[in-house]
Structures are given as C-alpha cells and as structure tokens.
Structure 1
C-alpha cells in the first residue's frame, strides 16, 4: 500500500520535474566539447557554491562493484583519477573508467544522435585527457563532472534520457515476471529498488556539539543477506515490485523529502505527508499554530461531526528515520482526511493553555514543547541546546497523529526538570495538560483558571502563586523568591511547605497593610489568599506528599493563577488608562 500511494503521488506531481532515474547532484566540473571535438574543462564553483551547483543527472544506486553513470559521473570514472597514489587505487580507477567508456559507446551505438557520436569519438581518441593539465591539485576523485557540447548538457538530451532509462531497467531487473504488489499487474519485476534516499534527506541525530550528523544514502527496502529474507531469499523476491512502481515510488518519496511544504524534520526523523486530492489542510500547522487557523479547524471539526458530511479525500503520512544504509519506517498513515482533522482538533484542545503575556487561549508549537523538555539556564534565560529528551519529538508527533497519550516517561522527565530548575512556562504547561487530559489520568482540566476546582494539589498551586505574589509585593528588591527556594519542595511536600510559607506571608501582609501606599494591595492579596484557602477541606487539609498526577495539578494551578492575576492587572491598567483619557 505504501509503494502504491507513493507511486500515485509521483505520477500526479513529482514526475515532470526530473527525468526518471535522475537525481539532483552537485556537479563540480564541466567538460565542454566544441563541434570540432576540442575539449576544455570549466569549474562550476563560485563564491556561493564552492563545491559546484546542483544538476539533475543520471543516477542509480551503486550497491557494489563497478557501475558507471551515463555522461555525468565522478573524476574517477570519467578520467581514471585515482583516490590515492597506490597501484591498487589506480587499477580500480582504470576499471571504472573502462565501464564509463563502454557506456558512452553503447549510447552512441543505440542512438542515432550526432552528439553521442561526437562525444564518443572525442573519448575514443583520448582527446578528453588533454584537460587533465588544467585540473588543480585539490581536485578530488569523487568530484562530479558532466559533459557539455557547446552550451547543452548532453545527459539531458532525449536520446540520453531514453537510453539511461533502459540501462536502469536492465541493471535493476530480477529477470523474473510476476504480480506487482503496487499496481497488481503482471510483468517484469525488479531485483532491487532502483534508487536510494539521499543521506541528507533523513536526519540521523546530533553530534556532541549539537550539530546535525551526516547520514548515508539509505534504501527503502533492502534484503541483502539470507538472514533478512524469508526462507533465505534475497533482494525483492518476497516483495515483488515492477519497474514502473519502484521507480515512481522512489521519485515520489524523494520529491516529498525535498519539499519543505510537505516535510517536517526532527533531530533524528523526518515526517512527510500528502493528500489524495488537493485540500485546505496542512498538518505542519502543529509547528506554527496561528490562532485563526486553529480556531477555523476547531469550528470545521465541530460542524462536521461523524455522519454529517461526506469527504472521500485521504491523508497519507510517513515518519522515517535511518539505520546505517536502511530506511526505518517509524509510522505510516492512510486515513480519511476528516479523521486526521479530528485528531488535530483534539490535539489543540488538549494542549490549549492561557498565556501570561497575552489575553485568551494560546496553542504551543510542537517544536517549542520539545525544546522545553531540556535544561533551563537561569543565567542565560534559555533552554540549553542539545539537552532535550531523546525521541520526544517523534513521540509527541505520534500522539498528535493517532490521538494517543504522550509517552509515560515524558511526565517523569518533565517533573524532574521543573523540580530542579523551577521554571514553568507555556510549553511545559501544554505538555503537562496533554498528559493529564489523556490516558492514564483522563482528567478534565481547563486551559485556564478553574476557580471552582477543589483538587487539593491544584488549589495548593494557586495558593503558592498568591504567596509568591505577596512576597514580591512586600520585598520587590529580593534576589531570591520563594519559587527559587521552595518550588521543588512544594511540588512534593505541600503540607510542610504551606505551614512555613504561610507564616512568612503573615509577616509580609502585616507590612503591606500597615503602610497607606501598599494597604489596598495587601488587603486584596490577603482576601485572595483567604478565598482560595476556603477550597481546602478543613479536615483533610493539604496532602503530605504528591504523586506525579498531584505534581502536575500543582504546576497547572500555579500557572493558571499567575496567568489570571497578570491578566487581571493588565485589564485594570487598561481600564485606568481609558478612564484617565476620558477625564482629560
């Protein structure tokens, strides 16, 4: 099914851009031949593209041995430039050059093309070797070189494209006929998938300095040892695919992996998606959730409840990673479009949270949630690069696509981070609310302050926020707040922490109420503290210890109360400014 869907996509959109069995590669040198057969070598490097610029060139996976590409290949193949000065390396370069020359002659013999004849005669007479004197010492045997006749790339001529397609079919054919799993037709089957995924298209993780590591070209299907194949069979014997489906599927896959509009790159995975038919939906909204776009999605899903609308469009998505030279399919989705829209609507409902700095509900981008799993630097006021939880990006994406809970280890990891760095922000709150809303807790928690909630941990979080506000008002110049000193303790031992902080707060309130300037603020904070305290059961009081669920509730209560108080203060300032303006 996956091969079939990729092939369908290629036929609809990707096939017209690049000829089949061609890939965009960086070409460093151009061997230019004029109509008299005189060659010259031109560097394609410049200040911007120091290694040359990209061109669509003939390409097939070189699984082993010697396999030349038509007209555009490395210096080793075109000029027999060896990798080093050893006799062994030179012998290998000579074999590759012989294969390249044989391919040029075969093109000349198969095509009634005067350009093919001119190129072959130039190489047959070894006039192309005259340009080696112009090759600088820093040139590498792996540098790509392509041939031009005057101002035309020879490998893009129709005769070259057609000939190379036949070479590809011959090289990759298994020699057997059978039923193709992709199209269901009977015909010639492939021995191996004709093209690999380029190493740069699938992230493979970060190095010690936090920079992306370079991956290898990877095969979507690879069975090259008897231990991997069923009953010891090799290659595609148990995965029959015809040449048409195999080449189209890889063209579609590489097209999606190269298109920023249809891919999302993580640290060690890449997510790609497409639709059966064009439609106004893009799952990459998960990384850039504009309020108007999310609200439109929520309204659409609410209006179109199951059974009320007919929509036969389909959503397809792949999550891939790489293991050495093999592609690892982490996830594959083939679902109706309304179903994935409903999943995303649920995701946004489950992560919605109030923002302290703006009014109303905010929806956190997934990438910010992943970043917030890292270590918070109090001095630099940012998350340390490279400290995020391993695999969380992929796990949260899976939760969004399938409507499943986030990984259980996320809660423990996040609570550990918060206990140590005492930092609570919107992305962390969004993750905790997601965990609390979905299995195993399945708690109904509001995105903002719930003034009627009586959960002891939630109420304790609200109280802690007010106690912090009291200290800040009484000691505005204090270098250390109660959050800096006691937040980790408050998360786990509410009763003991409350007794200590309440005693200190009494002194702060007395100081505030005793001064005329701060008396209104002191009375308001005292009243707020008393009102929230009424929500605590008088007999049971606050818990002695909080489990993971209780710690989440505490953090949410704390954040919700802070956001509510800041919003109220902002509204009061705006009202006062309006009143002052009207009086003046």
Structure 2
C-alpha cells in the first residue's frame, strides 16, 4: 500500500518528466548547431544567495541511478563523463571509460527514431564525433564530480523535444530485467524492473550518506529467499519511477518535518482535499483550534469527509544509500483527529505562570528532552554537540500522537535523568511527564493538568511538599540566598524524597519563626500548607524513600502543580482590588 500511495502522489503532480532529477551544475558547455564549442573554455555556472554563498545552479535533468560501474546520463553529467577529466588522485582509465560512455550515448540519441530529426541531438553527437571535446581548455577549479550542463546556442540540450522519450526508452533498457509479470503497484502485467531507476537526495533522508533508494537488494543475504534485486518486489518501469518521484516529492513538501540530531524525517498528506492541518495543530497548538477540535471530537461533530479521506504519514531514516521506513500509517482522517485530540488532552498542563501555554508543540517537547543550558536559559539546539537528546525522540512523540501509543519507557528515564542533572523542570517537561504517566500501562493514577488536592499518592504529595518548602524559604529570604533549598536537595529528592523532606521540615521551623516577625499572615499560610501536606504523608505511611520511575515522575508533577498553584494564587491576590 505504501508504494501505491507514493505512486498516486507522484501522479497528482506530473510536472516533472519521468526519470528526471534535480541536481546542481557548476559548469556549462555551449555548442552551436554544428556541434562546435562557442567558447574554448568551460564556462562557470553559479549563483549567489541572499547570504552571499556561491553554489551551482539547479536543473532537472535526465538521471538514472548509478549503482556501480560506468553509466552515462543524457545531455548533462559529471565533468568526468562530459569531458573525460579526472582529479589528480583519480583514475585516468575510468575517466576515459566515462567519456566513451557519454559520447556513445549521445550518438545513440542522435541515431534514434526520436533524435534523428532533432538538431540538438545531432549537435551534441557531432561535438564528440568531430573531436571538439579535446579542444576545451581545462578549468583549474573543475573537479571530476562537478556537474556540466550542455547547451546548444544557449538552450539546455536536455530540454530538446526528443530527449525525454529517448531517455525513457534508455532507462527501460538499462533497468529492465527482461522478465514480464504482474506489477505489485498497478496490478497490471508488463515488463518488470531489475533495479529502481531513481534515488532520493541524501539531504531528505537523515542518516543517509549518499542518495538513497527505497528498495535496494544487491546481495542475496538481504533478499527474501536469498533473491537479489527486485525479484520479490515486482514493479514495472512506470511505477518504479513514480514511487521514487512520489517519495522525493513527499519528503521535500511543506508537510515534511525533521530536526537536527534526530534519526528520521516525517511527511504526511491527505488523499482528499480536507481543511485539517493536523501537523500544524501538533507543532503550533493554537488554543482556539485546540478547543474546536476537542469539542468536535467529544461531541461527535467531525465533518463527514473525515471518514472517507485517508491520512498518510511516512517516517524514514537512512543507512548509507538505503531508505529505512521507520513508520508508515494510513488510516481514516477521523481516527487521526481522535488520536490528536487524545494527545492534546493527555499533554495539557497548567503553566507555571498564568500567562504560559497549556499545550506545547511537538518540536518544543522534543527540544525539552535535551540539555538545559543554565547560563543561556535555553535548551541546547537540535544537533548541537553535547545536547544529549535521544536521536529518536521526535519519532517517538510523533508515533504517540498519531497512533495514540505509549511513550517508550527509555524516553521517560532519559527525561528524568535530564531534569535531575539540569535541575530544571519547566512546563514542556511537565507536560511530557503527565503524558508518559497517562499512557503508561503500569500506572493506575490519572494525574490532572493542574493541582489535584484529592491525589494522596505519597510521591505526588511529596513533590507538593518539596515545592511548599522551597516557597517558604524564598519568602523568608526574598530570594536573596546563595544556595537555596532546591539547589541543595532537588536532584536527590527526585529519587529519595525522604532525606530532602526530613531536612526541609527541620529547617522550616526556623524559617517560620523568622517570617512571623515580618509577615505573620504569610507564615500562617505556609505553616497550614506544610501541616496539611505532611499530615497526608503520615496518613499514607510516611515520606517515601527510594521510589520507582513512575513515582519519580509523580513527584515532579506534584512539585510542578504546587508551584503553578502558588504563582496563580499570588497573581490573583495582586489583581484583587484593595
């Protein structure tokens, strides 16, 4: 089904000729109609972007995958193919083979039924037949792998009317295995491919070091029943081209997302025209849009086309020159709407400050799994050295959002370690903690987005008590203390709340005495809160000591909820008229 959807995606955008790909060209060679070069030099072909960077010029030209050996492309190729030049450390004999292959292909083009009446094809063939290529002055900066675009009187030769049909036949000859059969994609009988005729640019496939193919079986050990090439994946020529074109189009579309340092790229599309941008809602959850979706799902008021439109999501990574499908989802759009609504509900969190957000985008939540830079007061960038962010974090969160799946336990363990190491818990991290707890099959508690006084779970209450002790010390010192209670005990309290709370309760007596001398009402409120929380802990068997992973998350969630409740209370008291 994946191959069929990719082929259908390509069919919906037929702008590019079959077996053509975009690549950068650093040079061009201009000929006249008789095949003579209009300049003795290889002419540079570059452009400068807004930042002053110089690069080659992109052209969508005839290209077929070169798996090994020598195989020329039509009318535009590497320097070593067009002129036979090699690098100082290159192999002259290989460059000569490349030149011979390119000139032979040009002659075949001119002799074909498509090119025999095409002056462009005849001009390119004559350039080599008359030996004009030997008279081109070598550019000192030209390297063997740089692209050369051949033009005839200023017009790119690949745009000649005969180029595309001749090239389609040439690719069929190269890539066909001489066997006919039923195509896996279009379900029609015809000549089948031996290898996929195109590749996806490496820049679109995280982890790929070369342009990558979706299906590549060049050794028996990789294939089913020890078969090679496409023996067990029968695909016809047309569909093979369409699959690669569709995959390239999907991964380069505006609906594709990837982050530096992550192992995958995700792209999505909908089979019908429906106004529901699911990824924008996940990446930038606008409060009004979130409320509209939640109400529509809960009240059963989704548009009827949501049941017929199909949502497709593809997540890929790379390994050298192969595309790895890490996740593929095709489902009715209504199912995705339900899953996204559940994600938004499960990741809702009361912000630390009343002006904060209750929902956080996938990108921000992925960012929050990395290292917090205390001095810069921000998370380490994606792909930055020492960011300590799991390479599959974004992929795991996407899967949880679109499939209503659980978060991997390893992600929660990593997040807890980062919070303990960084000494930092913000709204995005608290949202991740709540999401992990709600989706865990081993956790019976259902933590609320905000403070839940009815939750008497010892770990949750211990987190609240730690926040209450922190708030008391802050009020006593007005924040003017070199090492705070949280600085000393926060990291250890996550795994062993008892030690931190016992010491904090002892210090609280001195803090309360000092606060009574200046702010008696505040001291009464703090003492009442502490007595209530420690009373709950006593009723539940005392302060917990060594705690499980889930209990660590509950402790941090209680800590976050208590702090958010305190700041909301302070804000309301400041807004109340005297």
**CA–CA separation in structure 2 for the residues paired with 1:544 and 1:304:** 46
Aligned residue number for residue 73 of structure 1: 77
Counterparts of 2:300 and 2:539, CA distance in 1? 47
CA distance in 1, matches of 2:431, 2:123: 67
User: Is 1:39 equivalent to 2:42 in the alignment?
Assistant: no
Per-residue CA deviation, residues 137-160 of structure 1 (Å, 9 max, x unaligned), is 121011101111223211022211
1:158 and 1:567, CA in 2 relative to 1: closer, same or farther beyond 3 A?
farther
Cα pair 2:354 2:567 within 8 Å, conserved: no
**1:398-456 CA-partner distances (Å, limit 9, x unpaired):** 22222111111122222222233321111221111111101221531111111222222
SS in 2 for 1:297: helix
Q: Name stretches of at least 5 consecutive residues in structure 1 with no aligned partner.
A: 205-213, 580-584
Shift of 1:361: 5.4
Output aligned runs, 1:135-150, within 5 Å: 135-150=138-153
Say if 1:84 and 1:564 are closer, same or farther in 2 by CA, change over 3 A.
same
Q: Which residue, out of 488, 492, 515, partners 2:491?
A: 488
2:539 match: secondary structure = coil
Q: Which one is further off, 479-488 or 520-529?
A: 520-529
Of 168-177 and 491-500, deviating more is: 491-500
- Tell me the residue number matched to 1:208: none
| Residue of structure 1 in register with 2:55 after alignment | 51
For residue 278 of structure 1, what is the aligned residue in structure 2?
273
Comparing 333-342 with 300-309, greater Cα deviation is found at 300-309
User: Which residue matches 2:563?
Assistant: 562
Instruction: Report deviation, 1:270.
Output: 0.8
Aligned-residue offset at 1:8:
0.7
* 3-state SS of 1:25 partner: strand
Find the aligned partners of 1:296 and 1:72 in 2 and give their Cα distance. Answer: 53
User: Is 2:465 the counterpart of 1:463?
Assistant: yes
Q: Where has structure 1 moved over 6 Å in runs of 4 or more?
A: 305-310
Q: Name the stretch that deviates more: 493-502 or 437-446.
A: 493-502
Equivalent residue number for residue 433 of structure 2: 432
Structure 2: how far apart are the matches of 1:153 and 1:284? 40
CA contact (8 A) 1:196 1:219 kept: yes
Q: 1:307 to 1:125 in 2, by over 3 A?
A: closer
TM-score (norm 1): 0.91
Quick check: 277-286 or 477-486, which moved more?
277-286
Residues 493-535 of structure 1: CA distance to partner in whole angstroms, max 9, x if unpaired?
A: 33343232112112112211112xx333323323333344454
CA contact (8 A) 1:108 1:120 kept: yes
Q: Cα offset for 1:360?
A: 7.1
Q: CA deviation at 1:310?
A: 6.6
Is the CA contact 2:306–2:333 (under 8 Å) kept in the aligned structure 1?
no
Q: In structure 1, what is the Cα distance between the partners aligned to 2:475 and 2:328? A: 54
Instruction: Show CA shifts across 1:439-488 (max 9, x none).
Output: 22153111111122222221221121111111011112102111110112
Distance in 2 separating the partners of 1:280 and 1:491:
45
Q: Which runs of 5+ in 2 are unaligned?
A: none
Higher mean C-alpha displacement, 106-115 vs 555-564: 106-115
Distance 1:292 1:142, change over 3 A: same
Cα separation, 2, equivalents of 1:406 and 1:113: 61
Question: Aligned partners of 2:96, 2:352: CA distance in 1, in Å?
Answer: 69
Q: Which residue of 2 aligns with 1:3?
A: 3
Deviations 1:50-105 (A, max 9, x none): 2311110111100111110001001100101013366xx11111111111111111
Deviations 1:191-239 (A, max 9, x none): 11111121111111xxxxxxxxx72111111111122223332211111
Q: How far apart, CA to CA, are the structure 1 residues paired with 2:209 and 2:575? A: 55
Partner residue in 2 for 1:244 = 238
Matches within 5 A, 1:526-545: 526-538=527-539, 540-545=541-546
Residue 447 of structure 1 aligns with which residue? 449
Match of 2:157 among 147, 154, 159: 154
1:116 aligns with 2:111: no
Measure, in 2, the Cα distance between the counterparts of 1:488 and 1:525.
23
2:104 equivalent in structure 1: 102
Stretch of structure 1 that moved more, 460-469 or 381-390: 381-390
Which sits farther off after the overlay, 274-283 or 553-562? 274-283
Question: 3-state DSSP class of the match of 2:55?
Answer: coil
1:181-580 → structure 2 map (5 Å cutoff): 181-204=184-207, 215-265=209-259, 267-285=262-280, 286-304=282-300, 311-359=307-355, 362-384=358-380, 385=384, 386-440=387-441, 441-476=443-478, 477-515=480-518, 518-538=519-539, 540-576=541-577
Moved more, 528-537 or 54-63: 528-537
- The answer (yes or no) to whether the contact 1:27–1:53 under 8 Å persists in 2 is yes
- CA–CA distance in structure 1, aligned partners of residues 304 and 47 of structure 2: 59
Distance 1:540 1:161, change over 3 A: same
Aligned-residue CA RMSD in angstroms? 2.2
- Are 1:179 and 2:182 an aligned pair? yes
TM-score, normalized by length of structure 2?
Answer: 0.92
Please say if residues 470 and 508 of structure 1, whose CA atoms lie closer than 8 Å, have aligned partners that are also in contact.
yes
Number of residue equivalences: 560
Q: Distance in 2 between matches of 1:496 and 1:470?
A: 18
8 Å contact from structure 2 (residues 421, 491) kept in 1:
yes
1:238-285 alpha-carbon deviations (Å, 9 max, x no partner): 111111111111111001111233344562211111111122223423
Q: Distance in 2 between matches of 1:473 and 1:533?
A: 20
Aligned-pair distance for 1:491?
2.2
